[in-house]
Amino acid sequence: MAIGILGTGSYIPKVVTKNEHFLEHEFYSNQGDRFEVDNTEIIEKFQAITGIRERRYAQDDELTSDLGYQAAKNAIEDAGIDKESIDYIIFAHNFGDVRKGENQSDLIPSLASKVKNQLQIKNPNCVAYDMIFGCPGWIEAMIQAKAFIQSGMAKNCLVIGGEALSRVVDHHDRDSMIFADGAGACILGETQGNGEILAHHSQTFAGDETFYLYFDKSNHKENGYDNTRFIKMNGRKVYELAVVNVPEALRVCLEKSGESIDSVKKVFIHQANEKMDEAIIKRFYRKFKKEVPENIMPMNIQTVGNNSVATVPILYDMVRQGAYNEHELQAGDIIIMASVGAGMNINAIVYKY
C-alpha cells in the first residue's frame, strides 16, 4: 500500500509586517537591560542572520483555528475528496487560539474540533484531535496519520499545521521579529503510485535541551505584565543543536528509505532561520562528501517569517502551486521534509512525489 499526499492547501494571513515596523520598539536583554545600540543596527543584523525582510500576521479577528480552517478547505478542494470521507483531523500547533489583546490560550474545544465544525463535517466517526510537538508537529502528525492508514484504521486523514505566534511574542524581545502566523494542510491517503511516504525518523532531546524554547516573563521587567508569559528562545543553543542533529536525522531517514543522496531533488527544512538552514543543508551533504546542489532547498522565510509548525506545509504547498520558477516538482522526485523545535524535537520524512 502506497500512502501519500492527495492534496495540499495553505493560508498566509494578509497583514504584512516589514522590519521597519520594529524601529520604534524598546528592546531589552533577558536580564532586563535596554540595548544601547540603535534599533536600525539591531534590525540590520537580524535580517542578515535570519533572512527575514517581512512577515505575515493574522488579522485582528482571526484565530489559529481560522487559519487552519482556510488551509484545510484548500487542501480538501485540491485533493478532490468528499470531506465526509475524512477519518482523522490532526491539528498541530503549540499555543491554541489566543485572541488579539488577550493573554489566555483557548484549547477547549480542540482546534481540530473547531476546524471540523467550520468545515461542517457531520460524520461522528471523523475523529479530531490536536498535536503538541513544537515546530515539528505537522511532520509528526503526518507520521501518525500514515500509521492510521497503514493499519486500516483510516482511509483519509486531514493533517494541519497552524500558529499565530504574533499573539504570544514579547515585543521587548528581539526574537519577536522572527515569529509569524500562518497555516498549511494536506490530505493523506492511499495513492496509486503518485506519491508515497518512503521513510520517517523522529527524536526528542529532553535533557538541558528541553528548555531551549520556553515560556517566561517579558524582558521589560516593569511593563505591568507580571502575570503574562511569552514565547522565549535560547537562539544560540537552538542553532547549535539543530546544525549538529538535523543533518544526522536527514541522513538516517534517507538511509531508511533506501534512496541515494543523488536522487534527492528538494529538501524542505523548517523555516526558522536562513543561516541555520543553510548550515544544516551543507552539513547534510558533507556527510556524503557531496557539494550542495543548486536550488535544492526552497525557502520562503524572507517574506512570510517563521510561522512555526506551519512552515513546512506552507512551503511545500507554495512549491506545488508554482510559486517559485526555480523550484518545480515532477512525478517520481525524491524529496525530504524536516523540522526542529520545542521539546527539543527533530523529525524527517523521505517522500516520493
Determine what percent of the chain is predicted with pLDDT higher than 90. Answer: 87
What is the pLDDT at residue 12? 97
What band does 183 get if pLDDT is binned at 50, 70 and 90? very high
Q: At residue 225, does pLDDT exceed 80?
A: no
What is the pLDDT at residue 5? 98
What band does 223 get if pLDDT is binned at 50, 70 and 90? low
- Lowest-confidence region among 6-15, 186-195, 255-264, 278-287: 186-195
What is the pLDDT at residue 216? 86
What is the pLDDT at residue 75? 98
Q: Which residue has the higher pLDDT, 268 or 220?
A: 268
Task: Tell me the domain boundaries of the chain.
Answer: 2-192, 198-352
CATH number assigned to the domain covering 198-352 = 3.40.47.10
Between vectors from CA 113 to CA 63 and to CA 117, what angle results, nearest 5°? Answer: 85
What is the third-level CATH fold of 2-192?
Peroxisomal Thiolase; Chain A, domain 1 (3.40.47)
- What residue type is 229 in one-letter code? R
What is the pLDDT at residue 50? 94
SS3 of 162, please?
Answer: strand
What is the pLDDT at residue 224? 59
What band does 227 get if pLDDT is binned at 50, 70 and 90? confident
Average pLDDT over residues 302-312: 97
What is the pLDDT at residue 206? 96
Instruction: Give, in order, the Cα–Cα distances in Å from 107 to each of 72, 96, 99, 115.
Output: 19, 5, 12, 13
What is the pLDDT at residue 324? 93
Q: In what order do the strands lie in the sheet with 334-341?
A: 196-204, 345-352, 334-341, 264-269
Helix (H) / strand (E) containing 88: strand 86-92
> pLDDT of 90-136, one tens digit each?
999 999 999 998 888 999 999 999 999 999 999 999 999 999 999 99
Same fold, 2-192 and 198-352: yes
What is the pLDDT at residue 15? 96
- What residue type is 188 in one-letter code? L
What band does 60 get if pLDDT is binned at 50, 70 and 90? very high
Q: At residue 10, does pLDDT exceed 90?
A: yes
> pLDDT of 139-179, one tens digit each?
999 999 999 999 999 999 999 999 999 999 989 999 999 99
